[in-house]
Amino acid sequence: MKFYRLTPEQRRQILITEGIKLEDIDQHILERLDKLSENVVGQLRLPLGVVQNLCVNGKKYWVPMAVEEPSVVAAANHGANIFAKNGGVQSNSKRQGIYGQIVLKVDEYFSLVDLEKEFPELIDDANQKFASLIRHGGGTRKITANQKDDLVYLKVLVDPAEAMGANKTNSILEFLGAKLENFAGVEEKLFAILSNYPSQLTTARVELDPKTVGGQKVAKRVALLSKIGWDNPYRAVTNNKGIMNGVDAVLLATGNDYRAIESATAVLASQDGQYRSLSKWTMKDNKLIGTLTLPMAIGVVGGSIKARHDVQQSFSILGNKITSKDLSEIIVSTGLANNLAALLAISTVGIQAGHMKLQARNVVAELDANDKEKQLVLDKMVTEKNYSESHAQELLQKLREEK
């Protein structure tokens, strides 16, 4: 029998007989996971942390973050606290839809003008075929096309309502592609699939009193670092990684496709031909102003969101009536909070001091020691600002000798 047709336990047994060590897992959990993916043999767990006080558009949120790096959660909380002292984040979303692409190969008898006349009827046909999407507030909105030599590129805008919409969009595109194959002059449909090109853009904006970030000197340094990130791709990519630390953690916690967002942000950062920082920080009227715009093709329904208890827990933390627009604005605001915290660290004590202090927890967690010993070792490492694994072992040994 093929491996994917085996039960999870049978697959696990094959790996075990080959000498692979697998973690124990509850049978019920294993069976549930097997319904979500392919060739399932276990699970990979991530800690779920929270941002305690993110204020967006006048409303306070607990924000779930699934990430194993403590400094990411700490940074998001630090940035969010500063935002709260300044009235919070103002955010807005443009959620017209996501793009799909159909590419046709055509011959000399093809007329783009004649094809464009068919677009209104094609849109109506798609919306009748996928009427359930219309009932949920979405639907096929627009079709545009351009021709280059013997290839015709159609761009289809689909509003997925409260879902991310990848599967529904692909179904709509295949439906339209099949119809277009019969159009005069079309030799074949090359493909019909969604595009992860930046769409559903969301912007977050804050105005900060310099006093809340450490004074005028620090605020101006943040603005200068932002300018360097705009001009220099070596700085820009690291700046953007810091933003995506927070963004990806919330996307993971809410069961959304962080890979699609990562791909789209890379395009957005390179829109003018040079890779640039996604965020901007400037000084204006004695205020430090920060803005961040990201593509947020996400959802609060669809995919595995409803099927996963861990993801539903995250939505309970956020508030069960949250919309995709709300979630988009929360996620981008979190990314801006992480970005501010990173820029402040670079502008003052440096990024490594706080980072290593938090990472010391991971070093201590691996010690063969009881909880009291681990805490004493951790406290000593922080005091001495020495976070190496060898130093942790030395401190443990010295502690035991003193006893």
Q: Which residues are catalytic?
A: 69, 241, 257, 355
CA separation for the pair 44, 69 (Å, rounded): 15
Q: Rounded to the nearest 5°, which phi and psi values hold at 53?
A: -150, 65
Give me the numbers of helices (H) and strands (E) for the chain, helices first please: 15, 10
Give the position of tokens 């006093």. 211
Which two tokens mark 25? 């897992």
Q: Are 67 and 245 in contact (CB under 8 A)?
A: yes
Cα(first)–Cα(last) distance of the chain, in Å? 59
Is residue 318 packed enough to be buried (19+ CB in 10 Å), middle (13-18) or exposed (0-12)? buried
Q: Which residues contact 76 (CB under 8 A, 6 or more apart)?
A: 51, 54, 63, 65, 246, 249, 334, 337, 338, 341
Q: Which 3 state secondary structure label does DSSP give 273?
A: coil
3-state secondary structure of 94: coil
Give me 166's structure tokens. Answer: 């990848």
**Residues facing residue 154 across a β-bridge:** 102, 145
DSSP state of 211: G
Angle at 197 between CA 191 and CA 198, to 5 degrees: 160
Name the pairing type of β-strands 59-66 and 279-284.
Answer: unpaired
Ranges of H-type helices in 130-277 = 131-135, 166-180, 216-231, 233-253, 258-268
